[in-house]
Structure 1
């Protein structure tokens, strides 16, 4: 049976007057300029002013700036009291390059105008930063690509449909995101403590061999013995080939409750979800 969840989330853009735009992963191609300008106009119509990092577009291969430059720009937005939220508009592979240069003590103290923790928004490779920030500070962040935002989604951005694959209830603080990118944190101090967590997994690329490898690594790390349940988003390439992720996950997850949603992942109409906040799902 399919259920609808809003996860107890607040209105997604409430209280955001000014947002910083960054690219912590791969720099954008020059051809993305029109899309970024559209986003700025859409946000302006919603009453949100945007301030752009000087490191948005790829200059050196895939980099928009050095790891230090990208980290410094991100920290500048965290430290700026006039910036209420940070929207990362990138994706790709290199977000973990900036981790050693972030000041997590400053991130932990950063607040928006409402006195709440300043949130980073991003998806895909930004799974790395969202989970590292949560692991190091306890602060939540939003798994969502703002380049896809439209005003029509404002009231339903955090709403998603789901159904249970096995079990009928699960709850916990949400961690995870893109399975490949989450596992880049394995063995580092930035990997989140997954005990009692509700683990979100999704992917854009990867077929059965890659998924078996990822799930095997997670099994060998003891993750399935720690978590309270698994929420599966979309697995774009795998599902495009007519394959399903659910039977694979069941082979590794034992009797853990597992739910599936088609609304969280890499699609342009995907919903958002907060990493680092409590969620309860039931059939």
Structure 2
């Protein structure tokens, strides 16, 4: 996928990282990790952290400009977004998708950056990756090093090994094309020019926060958008708050009800979510 000496760009398109020693050490450790294990250099965006004067996330136009600079930089072969939160959709009107399309490279992001992962794929056709790069320096470092190396070598994660719901055949996922990510954040794209084409795709859904009622409401919105008439399947990852509340079975029952009404299969996986064992998955 990349060669030794290539560079990875670090950026925060959502909420900027806090200006403290812990955040800076995570960034430094990730840079060291990429160099030691993959021979990759690092290019740091100037919007990675909160503004040191205002302690606020940099303005949307500034974040968009920084992202476009990484796309324009020929030495940068991929972009790792290290942020999360709420603000990723602010930058969409400021992006030059023509420039991005002329400089294709994968964007890796997670959580709120499901917005950017899906929007760029929808507007340019570039395949991006739903992934939180910071897990490479988590307690699951060895597991994630192997997962990223597999991605480099085009050895896709074994999504066919997921748990089947309602007797659906998981093996049909072997050639699947995926869309989606964090349910709350993905729905920010609804009704905008950045909403992706879902026909014949497997829709991924996961969430960290969000109780049963809020997430069930999100499923209803997807149905009302017509998404469930287009997708070829639904892949349900971790729903952390729902699981803490002991309501995962009830939520999965709601998913099965939509699947039954609209005629698509549903699968379940423990390897997409907000924990340190979440694997990278290609979008588009």
Superposed pair shares fold, TM > 0.5: yes
Q: How far apart, in 1, do the equivalents of 2:255 and 2:4 lie? A: 39
- Structure with bigger helix share is 2
Aligned length: 259
Q: Secondary structure at the match of 1:90?
A: coil
Contiguous gaps of at least 5 residues in structure 1: 1-10, 111-116, 277-283
Is 2:123 the partner of 1:136? yes
Q: How far apart, in 2, do the equivalents of 1:71 and 1:94 lie? A: 12
Q: Secondary structure at the match of 1:149?
A: helix
After TM superposition, list the pairs within 5 Å mapping 1:91-106 onto structure 2.
Answer: 91-106=84-99
Q: How far apart, in 2, do the equivalents of 1:86 and 1:53 lie? A: 10
Structure 2 length normalisation: TM-score?
A: 0.86
Q: CA RMSD in A?
A: 1.8
Could you tell which deviates more after superposition, 42-51 or 61-70? 61-70
In structure 2, which of residues 27, 42, 46 is the aligned counterpart of residue 54 of structure 1? 46
Q: How far apart, in 1, do the equivalents of 2:55 and 2:202 lie? A: 33
Change (3 A) 1:42 1:100: same
After TM superposition, list the pairs within 5 Å mapping 1:124-203 onto structure 2.
Answer: 124-150=111-137, 152=142, 153-157=144-148, 158-160=156-158, 161-166=161-166, 167-169=168-170, 170-171=172-173, 172-203=176-207
Q: How far apart, in 2, do the equivalents of 1:251 and 1:211 lie? A: 14
Quick check: 1:16–1:85 contact (8 Å CA) kept in 2?
no
In structure 2, which of residues 255, 258, 272 is the aligned counterpart of residue 252 of structure 1? 258
In structure 2, which of residues 5, 30, 35 is the aligned counterpart of residue 39 of structure 1? 30
- Structure with bigger strand share is 1
In structure 2, which of residues 109, 112, 123 is the aligned counterpart of residue 122 of structure 1? 109
In the other structure, the counterpart of 1:281 is none
Could you tell which deviates more after superposition, 185-194 or 28-37? 28-37
Is 2:273 the partner of 1:265? yes
Quick check: 1:16–1:84 contact (8 Å CA) kept in 2?
no
